Amino acid sequence: MSGFSTFLAKEFTEIRKTWRIWVIPGMLLFFAITSPIIADITPALMASISKSQPGMKVQMPPATWRDSYAQFLKSLSQMVLIAVVITGAGAVSGERSSGTAVLTLTKPVSRGSFVLAKIVSQAGLLIGATVVSTAVCALLTIMIFGQSPLTPLLASVSIWTIDAVLLIVVMTLFSAGFASRGASAGAGLGFFFLTLIISIWPPANRYSFVGLTSVSGKALMQQPTAAFWPVATAVVAALLCAWGAVRVFEKQEL
């Protein structure tokens, strides 16, 4: 693909040299550090709250490594995915409005390469930061709880990563399609909450990518789950959205 590697290298340099290095990786690392600590102190916190409220009695079992992982996964599935929406909203529209897309696209860089490099760089940043933060979470969990089985953590975080990468591709499509960053962020948030609502419907949850969150949760709890359809439909949806983003951007006038 014309100009792909040069533009991708520019994207990674931009991530390293600008605010982009701090947002998603910063959030992931923050949740990796705080999740085991929050899981550890939550029972004591609840006990102290129940003591201050006459007539209220809260009984919680002692926290375990699973609570630490669950806290981490909950943060990923909510806060980090919303951050993915917000940061991804300007991926293409930001370059278009600042005029930098013109700088690059009047040289031998195809629009397809431009869009795909955006997806690869964002996914690369997310995957790299997820690997590091998962390792940090596992390390802190073993330090606090004495054990940290990796299989459920890796399985659940891997499923979450597929969900997050799909969201990156969807956001790239919106960013290519909408003129402003705000409009694509709005559409992205709409998509995010719509998938949450649709996931309540059992067939959708079982046979489409909207079920990835529950598959991830079940993997953490080591419950039997069928991941094939959610994962397969996520991969197909990501490929279709990537293709759509390229086609939409190719048809646009800059």
Please, are residues 125 and 15 in contact by the beta-carbon 8 Å criterion?
yes
Q: Does 2 bind other proteins (CB under 8 A)?
A: yes
Contacting other proteins (CB under 8 A), which of 42, 78, 110, 158?
110
Q: Does 158 bind other proteins (CB under 8 A)?
A: no
Separation between Cα atoms, residue 188 and residue 125, nearest integer Å: 19
Nearest residue to 132 (alpha-carbon basis) of 24, 47, 38, 235: 24
Q: Mark 104-124 as b/e (b = at least 16 C-beta within 10 Å).
A: bbeeebbbbbbbbbbbbbbbe
**x-or-dash pattern for other proteins, window 5-44, by CB under 8 A?**
-xx-xx---x--xx--------------------------
Q: Does 180 bind other proteins (CB under 8 A)?
A: no
Separation between Cα atoms, residue 148 and residue 139, nearest integer Å: 8
Span of 68-76, 93-101, 117-125, 134-142 interacting with other proteins by CB under 8 A: 93-101
Residues that bind other proteins (rule: CB under 8 A) add up to a total of: 24
Query: Helix, strand, or coil here: 183?
Result: helix
Contacting other proteins (CB under 8 A), which of 37, 41, 48, 107?
107
Q: Does 100 bind other proteins (CB under 8 A)?
A: yes
Task: Name the residues that contact other proteins, by CB under 8 A.
Answer: 2-3, 6-7, 9-10, 14, 17-18, 98-110, 253-254
